Amino acid sequence: MRNLVAALSMALLFIGASPASADRKRAPEQDALRNGVRSGEYLPYQEMRARAQGRVDGQMIGSEFDPGTGRYRFKFQRGGSVIWMDMDGRTGRELGRVGQ
């Protein structure tokens, strides 16, 4: 047991000393969205999220942005169902849903 505790302690020391968090990079989608919001091409994520949540009765469990199409995709859970909703990042208009 003592050996296990010692091994875990050493592992935590190495993980804590690792510069991995400093090397972490944002996904290209995040940069594309950030630049698009700054230029006025896309609506901000917070605004789109609020619009999406107002249209679906369920808990939001995920989201993503596709810079190729300018679409946001929001994922909701309602009961045992999953609902995906696509929205135009330029206009805020709902483009379609999958699931009930």
CATH of the domain at 93: 3.10.450.40
| Contact by Cβ (8 Å): 75, 60 | yes
- Which one, of 73, 98, 100, lies nearest residue 88 by Cα? 73
Residue 6 lies in a domain: no
pLDDT computed for residue 7 by the predictor: 44
Residue 66 lies in a domain: yes
Residue 9 lies in a domain: no
Residue 73 lies in a domain: yes
Q: How many structural domains comprise the chain?
A: 1
Token couple for 46: 């917070």
Is 0.75 topped by the overall pTM?
Answer: no
Residue 64 lies in a domain: yes
Using one digit for the tens of pLDDT, what is the confidence trace for 39-89?
Answer: 999 999 999 999 999 999 999 999 999 999 999 999 999 999 999 999 999
The residue range of the domain holding 60 is 44-100
Residue 82 lies in a domain: yes
